[in-house]
Amino acid sequence: MGLSGAALVGSVFLFLRTDVSSLRAPTAPKSAGVKLLLDGPYGARFAGELAASRQGYFSTRIEVLAQTEDPDFVQTIAGQHAIGVTSGQKFLLASWRGVPVTAFAASFLDTSVAVFTLEASGLRRPADLVSKRVGYRRASEGDVVFDAMMAQLGLPRSQITKVPGRDSFEALRAGEVDAVITAIDEQPDPSSSAFVKLNVIKPQDYGIHVPGLVYFASNGLVHEQPSLIADVLQGLIRGWQFAYADYARSVPVLAGAGPTRLSPERLKFELQQQRPLVLPMGGRIGDYDESRWRTLRDILIFAKLGEEDVPLAQTVNYQFVRDVYRRSPDLAAPGAWSAEK
pLDDT at 14 over 70: no
pLDDT at 240 over 50: yes
What mean pLDDT is predicted for residues 231-259? 95
pLDDT digit string, tens, across residues 190-204? 888 889 999 999 999
pLDDT at residue number 333: 65
C-alpha closest to that of 180 among 165, 167, 194: 167
Look at residue 12 and give its three-state secondary structure.
helix
- Between CA 118 and CA 197 the distance in angstroms is 6
Output the CA angle 106-53-288, nearest 5 degrees. Answer: 10
Output the CA angle 297-298-299, nearest 5 degrees. Answer: 95
* C-alpha R_g of the chain: 25
- Between CA 17 and CA 20 the distance in angstroms is 5
pTM of the model: 0.87
Q: What is the mean pLDDT of the chain?
A: 88
